Amino acid sequence: MKKFLSLGKQPIANAFITPDEGQDEFFYNLKVGFDKETKLVSHMDFVDPPLMFNDSYVYHTSSSKTMIKHFEETAKMIQERFGPNRILEIGSNDGTFLRHFGIAHGMGIEPCENFAESTRQMGFMIYSEFWSNKLSVEIVGRHGRFYTIYSANCICHIPNIKETLEAVYFALDENGIFIFEDPSLLEMLERNSYDQIYDEHAHIFSITALNNLLKEAGMEIFSIDKTQVHGGSNRVYAQKEGGPHPHDGTLELELEQESLAGLNEVKTYTAFAKRVRNSKTKLLELLHDIKDGGNKIVSYGATSKSTSVFNYCGIGTDLIDYIVDTTPDKQGKLSPGVHIPVVSPEEGFDDSVDYAFLGAWNYLDEITKKESEFLRRGGQFITHVPEVRVLRGEPICQP
């Protein structure tokens, strides 16, 4: 594994704390590397999953309209295209996807007990454990194999990718499909969105790496969709080698595109690391200029991505007064590491705000629609994606 980037000392990205919890806060050194053999981009040292995914986990899939709509459409598409009689979701969070399947048809794996329990209350069978070979064997023993296994923004969270895919292979019917979506490495490089890298994202997947890893596990990709969610993601459709689904040519197209973009070469990643360092310098310069001009800056969306940016750049309450976020579990707490207070938009997004850093830049459309009044009265958004700049007035294009 070749190290190419260091994002410094980072906390658990979603561990919002109360003021007295500050002293015991966990930090680790975030270093990212490229595996020349599999072409996988991963953390050099993984954070132990129970430190991140436990009964205090605060990220709700249903916290944005964009994601609610995305999972409604995805569920509908899967039902129409594959008509599964049973679906197993790995990482079912608060049931935003699963709820579109009847309780007799959907089953979930969710290690965060708070979400496992609330989804059980909806009537679903949920295993509140981490996905592993052991769990796969247990589930197959009790429920048989699944025709459809689905996972969104979860497979990239699991350090041991080899075991993860072996466990999927074991639980999958001979003719079954494994559909999963995660942020795209190509999109991250193109948007310079280095904040995709935080503890939970143990890997940032390219199609090239997934193709290699799935092959090793006895599976093959037969189709790929590109989606705009989470700053650009790939939805991969895989089956057991020689399975019944025809290949539609998208794999070859993506492999070619990634190869042309240099994703198989170390030098692409060292160039990216340089752009990341420049982005940090420019963001700090811009925030200092704005602040020195007597303006009030807040941050919009207490995201894991913003934890990564603020800790890497050393941005605290000297520059950002507070963060506004709609998630009740984050409000009244301090952001991880740099300890910026989080308040509700009703409390904090008022006329006193001059600038808002887009912590949730991936929801630009949703946010600018909602905050048209802020823009009309001269309020301005700041983003670092794809480059550091100020966004003013409407219409604003998605980065």
* Residue 63 found at the interface with ligand TMP (CB under 6 A): yes
The reply to whether 303 sits near ligand TMP by the rule CB under 6 A is: yes
| Listed ranges 20-28, 101-109, 155-163, 358-366: which one lies at the site for ligand TMP (CB under 6 A) | 358-366
Region near ligand TMP per CB under 6 A, out of 70-78, 100-108, 172-180, 301-309: 301-309
* Closest distance to ligand TMP from the beta carbon of 329 (Å): 9
Q: Which one among 283, 325, 353, 388 touches ligand TMP, defined by CB under 6 A?
A: 325
Can residue 302 be called a binding residue for ligand TMP (CB under 6 A)?
A: yes
- Helix (H), strand (E) at residue 167: helix 161-171
Smallest distance, ligand TMP to C-beta of residue 360, A: 4
Please report, for residues 6, 161, 283, the alpha-carbon distance to residue 277 in angstroms, rounded to integers and kept in the order given.
10, 29, 10
- Per CB under 6 A, the segment of 3-11, 27-35, 109-117, 361-369 that binds ligand TMP is 361-369
DSSP 174: E
Tokens 């205090």 sit at which residue? 56
Handedness of CA 310, 51, 94, 83 (dihedral sign): positive
Q: Which residue has the tokens 């954070």?
A: 47
Question: Between residues 172 and 360, which has the closer beta carbon with respect to ligand TMP?
Answer: 360
Minimum distance, C-beta of residue 34 to ligand TMP, in the bound complex (Å):
25
Size, binding site for ligand TMP by CB under 6 A: 17
Under DSSP, is residue 275 helix (H, G, I), strand (E, B) or coil? helix
* Contact status: 370 vs ligand TMP (CB under 6 A): yes
Q: Which residue is nearest to ligand TMP (CB)?
A: 301
| Buried-state track 138-154, b at ≥16 Cβ within 10 A, e below 16 | ebeeeeebbbbbbbbbb
306 binds ligand TMP (CB under 6 A): no
* Cβ 58 vs Cβ 326: under 8 Å: no
Q: Where are the beta strands (DSSP E) in the chain?
A: 2-11, 27-34, 41-43, 87-90, 106-109, 125-127, 146-152, 172-183, 203-204, 219-227, 233-240, 297-300, 323-324, 342-343, 355-358, 380-383, 389-392
Q: Is 154 in the site for ligand TMP (CB under 6 A)?
A: no
Q: Minimum Å distance from CB 291 to ligand TMP?
A: 22
Q: Is 326 in the site for ligand TMP (CB under 6 A)?
A: yes
Gap between the Cα atoms of 188 and 47, Å rounded: 21
List the end-to-end C-alpha distance of the chain, in Å, as a whole number.
31
258 part of the interface to ligand TMP, by CB under 6 A? no
- Cα separation, 102 vs 123, in Å, equals 9
* Separation CA 102–CA 81 (nearest Å): 17
| 235 vs 330 by CB, closer to ligand TMP | 330
Tell which one of 360, 364, 385, 391 touches ligand TMP (CB under 6 A): 360
Establish if 182 lies at the interface with ligand TMP (CB under 6 A): no
Nearer to ligand TMP, 56 or 270 (CB): 56
Q: Which residues bind ligand TMP (CB under 6 A)?
A: 59, 63-64, 301-304, 325-327, 330, 360, 362-363, 366-367, 370
